[in-house]
Every structure is written in C-alpha cells, then in structure tokens.
Structure 1
Amino acid sequence: MTNKRQGSAYTEYGVLKEVLMCSPEEMRIKKPINEVQKSYEDENIDQDKAIEEHQFLIETLKNHGVTVQLIPALSKLPEQVFTRDLGFATEKGIITGKMETDIREPEIKEFKSWLQDHHWDYLSINDGSIEGGDVLIDEDVIYVGDSSRTSEQAVKQLEELFPAKKIITIPFDKKYLHLDCIFNILSPGTALLYPDALSNDIVRDICMRYRTITVTEEEQFRLGTNVLSIGNKTVISLPENKKVNEDMKEMGFEVLEIPFSEIIKSGGSFRCVTMPLIKGK
C-alpha cells in the first residue's frame, strides 16, 4: 500500500518547496469571465508567448529549489493554467475547492484525479463554492474573499474544518474577481493592498494588522498585488509594476522580475498560476 503524501502551508510567505502548475498551451479567452478578459477578448492569447513566459517562471522556481509538478493541460479547460483556484494547502493538508463558473468546474475533477494518481491525501469543500484565489493564510488567521466566486456556505465549512483559527471574511467589489487581486501578504506584518476595492473599515483593519504597500489603480489592473512569495522575503513580480517593486525593495524584499504580460491578459498573474503543495514555515 502506497503511503499518501501530505501537503502543507502555514502562511503565504513560507518557503515554497513544491507547487502544482499547468502549461498554458490550451489557454484562450473562450468566454470572458472577468473584467480583464473582456478587455482582451478580441486580441486573445498568443499561446506560444504564454508558454515561453510560463516556462521561464518554472525554470526560475526550479533555480530557487522549488519542485514543480505539472497537471496535464486539456483542450476543454481554457482556464486551467490558473491552478491556484483548485484549492489550497493548509496545516491539515491539501483542501480542494469548488469552482463557481461552469467553464471551470471540471478542473476540480481533474485535480482530484491528479492528487489520487500521485498519492496525495486531501480534504474537500463540497458546500457552495470556494476558489483558492480568495484564500490567504497567515498562521492562525485565514482571510477569505467574499467574492462572486466564494460563497457563505463554503466559508462555514472552512470554519468547521479550522475551529481554532480566526476566519476573517473580506467583502470587496466583485469586479476584482479574487481577494489576491487586491490584497496579498508578503511577510509577518507586511502586505500589498489596493484600498479602493474595499470599505474604509476593512482598509483600517488591514492597516492595523499590516504595514501596507499601496497599489495604484494602474498597477492593480496589471495585477500588482498578485505576486508570488517563495520564502526568505523573495517575491516574483511583473517588471511593468515599477512602483510596487521599488516599494517592496525598500522594505527589504528581493524582487525577481519575470515577464508575464501575455498570461495576465486572462486575469491572473504569478500567484494565480501556482498552487502550493508544500510550503514550509
């Protein structure tokens, strides 16, 4: 009998050890499901360029000691490159989510099959919908986006799974898709934030908990908050987001600037295309 592998993650900024990704070879804007996709629907995706960008990200991760696993890309799943939304890793292991949109829901079945075939243990959220882009973990706190993609029923199930943790729900303007498009935690006490998408009360609460780097409207559209922390205060970010990158550097972060301009046309960046399987403390 094969022993099951256990995923794990305790924070957004722990050392990334193993990650699940998917090649964008089948990526295309088939039916726009977010505001960014609507802007690029006519232009659509240059798949060759997207594959080149994605491969460079994979090589960068490997060069920093990350094991990269790939789930097969299927033609019927044009959003599959965004593996983050499949679920999330926690101290209790991997939890599979449930997609809100019909075009993405079959991805969960493929994800579960992949986990089973590769001997990973997992738990599932089956009530309502929850996508990994709406979940941010920081030790004893789990932030959950109250978005068009994550429902109240799923949050209640999450509360049952983690009775010892504080679950903080963050409502925001639904046009921003996921929580990680407007808020991201970089290190203990430091976060990226696009405050215009949130109420004044929520902004105040976040600023009391974190030293925040404010993202401009222009850089938010280029997914300036959707960076990927790989541990040891090292962050992967778009070169075009110059202000965000300079602000992070001034706060002591090493910023790895990687071209990703083709993939972000579909509404997701570095955090969106990476589903951590194992992240250390």
Structure 2
Amino acid sequence: MIKLNVKNETTRLRAVILGTAKSNGPAPTLDEAYDPKSLEHIKAGTYPIEGDMIKEMEAVAQVFEKYDIKVYRPKIIEDCNQIFSRDIGFVIDDIFIKANILPDREEELEAIQYVIDQINPEKVMRPPEEVHIEGGDVLVWNDYIFIGTYYEPDYADYIVARTNIEGVAYITKQFPHKIVKSFNLRKSQVNPKDNALHLDCCFQPIGNNKAILHKEGFLDVDEYEWLLNFFGKENCFIISKDEMYNMNSNVFSISESVIISEQNFNRLNAWLRDQGFVVEEVPYAEIAKQEGLLRCSTLPLVRD
C-alpha cells in the first residue's frame, strides 16, 4: 500500500508519478489545441517531437533516481499525450483526488489506476461532475490550500479555464481544517503571454518561506499583493511576462533545499543558488511549448 502524505510543496519527496512522452501521438491540429502556446507552435511548425520530449523526461527521471525517489509512470496509451500527470490528480494530506479533467483526457486517469489501486480506497475521492478542478490549480501549503480559478461569467467559453468556483467550494468543504484561498487568474485563448493556464503558471512556493510570482497572472491585484505580503517581498522572485511564458514558476521541489529547474532559466537559477538552493538543471524547453513544465508533469504522492 502507498501511504499518501503531501502537506506542502517542498518537503522531501519520497514517491511521485512522472508523466510519459512515449507514444505521444501526432502533433495536434489547430482545432485540437488545448491552450494558446501549443496553438502558436502548431502554427509555426515548431511543435515538439516525441523523441526530444522523451529525452527531457528521462533527464528528470535520472534526477529522481539520484535522490532515491520512488517513481511511478503511467501505462502507455497509444497516441496519447500523457506528459502532464499533475492535471489528472493531486494529493492533499493523505487524500488522493481524481481531477475532473477535459472529458477526452479521461483515459489518462485509467493509465495510473494501477497506482491508485495501491492506495486505501477510503482515501481516494472523485468530485461530482459539476466540479471542475485540475492539479495545476491546487497548491498545498501547510495550513493553507491555494487554488487558482476563474470567477468571470464567461467561464464556460474558455477551454483554458480549468477550475471553477464549484471546485473551490468542493475543496473547502472536504478540508474544513484548512484555510482555502482562491485566486482569479487571467485567461486568454489566443495569447500565451496573457494566459495563466493554472495557478502554478504564475505562482509557486519554494523552500520554507519563499515564492516565485508573476503579477499579471492575477486579475485582481489585491490577490497578488496578498501573496506578496504572505511570503514577504524580500522572499519573492518576481518573473516577467516572457519568463512566465517560458514557465519559470513551474519548477519542482525535491526538498526544501533542492529544486529541479529548466537549464535556460538563467536569472531564476542564479537567484535560487544565491538563496542557498541546490538547483538540478534539466532540459525541458520542448515540453514547455505545450504550456506546462516540471510541476505540471509530476504528481507527488509521498513527502516527508
């Protein structure tokens, strides 16, 4: 049995589901793109190829091996993008929540069912159908759960709006002992520099008391300011629009002192090292073309 334990984003990782790029399928058509960044690369003919993405994910698997982390991979589904395991589920404390994702991604959940079968069934939840929620929008931080959402009345018009108000209400009800704080995110179907697909595209806590933040990802400046004050300005690394577009906030913590980051994030990686972090750099620029990075492709199951 897997004894789940995830109380925050940064304590020492022991077990994780890492997505896979194998049998990723042909590049999607323009009509099939889920997000504006993928759309941009499909149009430009620069959509990433399977072989490159497999190499990038193997680099991450090697880092996990180095730190003696138990790694589960999804079962391979032919011609299916299974890179972003964070979308399909997430753990809060000792509960695994199956995400209600875009309907045509349901088989991705089936591919990790063999892992879910190793969890006490009483600790596995599936929200009702009207509840939309994806793991990229849920960040667990000790007594707090931070959730990215989109409050606006045109929610249904946006395929890039992945977590609704019902999702926030569901988590609030299921975890009454936690303080749930939601954030209204900026969405764009057409401009990836104006689209915070998930909360972890514009915010991520690191270490014990630090955070990476992107101001324009938040529709309400007060919500951004709340996070800035919560962590303290001196502890926050503020990323630009271009850095957000390249997914600088979507790094992944192995522990409070070790972070996996993309090798081209020069400004961020230098700052992290100045702050005393060990930075494990990996190539991940091809996967980034699909508007997801390291946090998006990992689903932590056990942290100390």
- In structure 1, what is the equivalent of residue 192 of structure 2? none
Q: What is the rounded CA distance, in whole Å, between the counterparts of 2:279 and 2:78 in structure 1?
A: 34
For structure 2, the residue ranges without an aligned partner over 5 or more in a row are 151-160, 188-194
Deviations 1:228-265 (CA, angstroms, capped at 9, x unpaired): 00103111111111111111122221111101121111
The alignment yields a C-alpha RMSD, in angstroms, of 1.6
Structure 1 match to 2:172 = 159
**TM-score normalised by length of structure 2:** 0.85
Please name the residue that 1:52 is paired with.
55
In structure 2, distance between residues paired with 1:214 and 1:119 = 38
- The residue correspondences of 1:6-21 to structure 2 (distance < 5 A) are 6-21=3-18
What's the CA shift for 1:119?
Answer: 4.7
Answer whether contact 1:7 1:120 (CA < 8 A) is retained: no
Partner Cα distance (2:253, 2:27) in 1: 27
1:189 equivalenced with 2:209 (yes/no): yes
TM-score, normalised on structure 1?
Answer: 0.92
CA contact under 8 A between 1:77 and 1:103: conserved in structure 2? Answer: no
Q: Does 1:222 align with 2:225?
A: no
Find runs of 4+ consecutive structure 1 residues off by over 4 angstroms.
none
Structure 1 residues 29 and 180: CA distance shift in structure 2, 3 A: farther
Match of residue 300, structure 2, among 242, 258, 276: 276
- Aligned mate of 1:200, from 200, 221, 233: 221
The question of 1:252 aligning with 2:276 is answered: yes
Q: Which runs of 5+ in 1 are unaligned?
A: none
Paired with 2:294 and 2:224, the residues of 1 have a C-alpha distance of 24
Corresponding letter in the other structure for 2:270: E
Q: Which residue of 1 aligns with 2:191?
A: none
CA distance in 2, matches of 1:231, 1:116: 24
Please point out which of 60, 64, 80 is paired with 1:61.
64
Amino acid aligned to 1:180: D
Identity percentage over the alignment? 24
Helix, strand or coil at the partner of 1:73: coil
Q: Deviations over 1:8-45 (max 9, x none)?
A: 10000111100012320133542211121012113222
Check the 8 A contact 1:29/1:266 in 2, yes or no: no
Residues 105-158 of structure 1, C-alpha deviation per residue, up to 9 Å, x if partnerless?
Answer: 3323443x3234445542222241110000001001000001410111122111
Residues 72, 115 of structure 2: 8 Å contact kept: no
Q: Distance in 1 between matches of 2:281 and 2:119?
A: 34
Higher deviation after alignment, 85-94 or 130-139: 85-94
- Matched residues, number: 274
Q: CA deviation at 1:188?
A: 2.4
